Homo-oligomer: A and B are copies of this chain.
Amino acid sequence: MNPTGYPFREHELYRSLVDAADRIRRPEYHLRNLVQDDRRWSRFSRRGGGLLFDFTRQRIDEPILELLLRVAGDLEILPRFRATTRGEPVNVTEKRPALHTAARDFSGQALMVDGTDVVRRLEQVRDQFRRFSADVRSGRITGSTGRAFQDVVVIGIGGSHLGTEFVATALAPFSDGKIRLHFLSNVDIHNFGLIASRVDPETTLWIVISKSYTTVETLANASQAVAWMKAGGVDPAGHLVTVTSEGSPGDSRDTPVLATFHMFDFIGGRYSVTSAVGGVPLSIHLGYDLFEEFLRGAEKMDRHAAGAPAEQNLPLLAALISVWNTTFLGYQHQAIIPYAAPLSRLPAHIQQLNMESNGKSATADGRLLAEPAGVVIFGEPGTNAQHSFFQLAHQGRPFPIDFIGIRRPFYDQYEARYQGVTNHQELWANLLAQATALAAGQPAPEDPARHFPGNRPSSLIVLESLDPASLGSLLSFYEARTIMEGYLWGINPFDQFGVQLGKTVAGRIRQTIARSNADPGRQLEFDDPLVRVHLERLFGR
């Protein structure tokens, strides 16, 4: 197996796929016609890992699926995914493994990396926050003045924020409301100020999450929190918890805290919600047992992703469709539309997961791609999105959609009917109607304002319910799909060198401001005149 792989564009079947894309654009292959095939459902839907995946309304047919699967086979996408879960150093540019799957590996089997059993290490951390969260929830562990904690503020950004927010929002119906969760992610002081106005220093626990413990936003927010706690008469050491790497500045006597939970460099931020990053806050907020159910759901899909043959493999099929839509059919964006209000933050989490993983222009072996990889991901829940941007979906620029549906709702006691159906039935009527209408359209060339061209592709992912295990399956599905997409594009989905330049320039601007703060007589000098003009307006004297 080639450790870095190569882009599917370099595969000998690339030309055949381009030809197939030309073919599928012909009017007789309009989705309206493709879906007429009696075998459409049996050939283009699959079950696995806890989910149902319906891709009957994608612009593919059997010859195209076969070509895509042959490319996936030759590029060894599944063997490379299995190598990923076995701890091989697939993050080639940073020379380390990518082992988020180990965070939910309950197989009991060891997984050795550099002489350490990482499954065991992750289990120890899990045990640690299982006990800690129980103690916080029961009031055995209290704040410095002896009062039980009622609010938890997660200080973390990007990978240390969005996954936990997505899961907490999704599982809100399961929360007993005992301990509220807040997210202090943005260095914008409005984020801090608003939280500070709503919580009591005596009953608030702050969880600072940063692998290196040098993330500027997170440390700046932690400083504000510490100053505020001191002003509020509590001892920060009794109100702080850190989630960080072993030996980081957050894992030191210089940072006195209630507890420190370790995270590891073999789990990247955007893949970390099943580690202590999500585990500590979610266990405190929801109770550890629900968090473990979530992990077990993810594990179920992990096994499917690593074990199911290509033809039956949900994440692989989804990855192939994504690449097909982007590179061959030219769609530059994809929407994620969960027909489930609690999944309101899923699009933002997958936006991060996918765009940060695959928004690249360099191959894993260091060459420039012919065209950039990755797509723009966006979305809002349905039916809301129908009343917002679906006008453009139907009649403007088309984009592929992942519809997500929930078979059984958490709240089944509300059964008032409007127009003869329950809310849950109305929701499904709308989901199915949108997928159908986008695919089939309704041509009216004589009346362009009411002309629906159709041929808009979509998939439908169905969860049995919005319970923690189903949510874990859904998360793992998107993680595996993202990684397989990256492997198809021939890039490394685990690095993110693209965020460096902005940090470097921000550092230079920060130094300029800091020098002016330290010496108020000093001019705000900066080489870029367009930056300087703003700095003078903002902070000049």
Q: Which residues on B sit within 8 Å (CB–CB) of A437?
A: 501-502, 504-505
- Least CB distance from A183 to B in Å reads 10
Q: What would 13 A/B residue contacts be, using CB atoms closer than 8 Å?
A: A158-B386, A188-B340, A190-B410, A193-B410, A216-B418, A224-B416, A351-B380, A366-B449, A393-B498, A420-B511, A420-B514, A430-B502, A430-B506
Interface size of A in residues (CB-CB distance below 8 Å): 157
List residues of chain B with CB within 8 A of the CB of A339.
188
Q: Give the docked Cα–Cα distance between A391 and B270 (Å).
A: 12
User: Which of B38, B348, B359 has a CB less than 8 Å from the CB of A380?
Assistant: B348
Among A15-23, A68-76, A394-402, the stretch that binds chain B is A394-402
A355 partner, pick from B227, B359, B389, B503, beta carbons under 8 A: B389
Are A419 and B356 in contact, with the CB atoms below 8 A? no
Given known A190-B173, A190-B340, contact A216–B419 (CB-CB < 8 A): yes
CB neighbours (8 Å) of A461 from chain B are: none
Q: Answer yes or no: A518 CB below 8 A from chain B CBs.
A: yes
Task: Give the residues in chain B near A498, CB-CB below 8 Å.
Answer: 390-396, 452
One of A278-286, A475-483, A526-534 contacting the partner: A526-534
- A83 to chain B minimum Cβ distance, whole angstroms, is 21
Question: CB-CB contacts of A445-487 with B at 8 A, as 1s and 0s?
Answer: 1011111110000001010001000000000000000000000
Neighbour of A391 across the interface among B221, B359, B513, B535, CB < 8 A? B359
Q: How many copies does the complex hold?
A: 2
A429 CA / B125 CA spacing, docked (Å)? 36
Please tell me if the beta carbons of A376 and B378 are within 8 angstroms of each other in the complex.
Answer: yes
Interface of A (DSSP majority class): helix
Checking B188, B420, B506 against A433 with a beta-carbon cut-off of 8 angstroms, the contacting residue is B506
Is A228 engaged at the interface, CB distance under 8 Å to the other chain? Answer: yes
The answer, yes or no, to whether A223 is at the interface (CB within 8 Å) is yes
Q: Does B428 contact A538, Cβ atoms closer than 8 Å?
A: yes
Any B CB within 8 A of the CB of A500: yes
Question: Distance in Å from the Cβ of A25 to the closest Cβ of chain B?
Answer: 16
| Listed residue (A38, A193, A441) with the most chain B CB atoms within 10 angstroms of its CB | A193
Tell whether, in the assembled complex, residue A391 and residue B356 are in contact, meaning their CB atoms are under 8 Å apart: yes
Q: Find residues 349-381 in chain A having any chain B CB closer than 8 Å to their own CB.
A: 351-352, 355-356, 358-363, 366-369, 372-378, 380-381
CB pair A391–B333 under 8 Å, yes or no, is: no
The distance in angstroms between the C-alpha atoms of A386 and B161, with both chains bound, is: 13
Residues of B within 8 A of A518 (CB): 420
Do B499 and A386 have beta carbons less than 8 Å apart? yes
Give A389 to B376 CA distance when docked, in angstroms. Answer: 9
Taking a contact as CB atoms under 8 Å apart, the answer to whether B355 and A530 are in contact is no
- The CA-CA distance from A513 to B418 in the complex, in Å, is 12
Pairwise interchain contact A449-B93, C-beta atoms closer than 8 A: yes
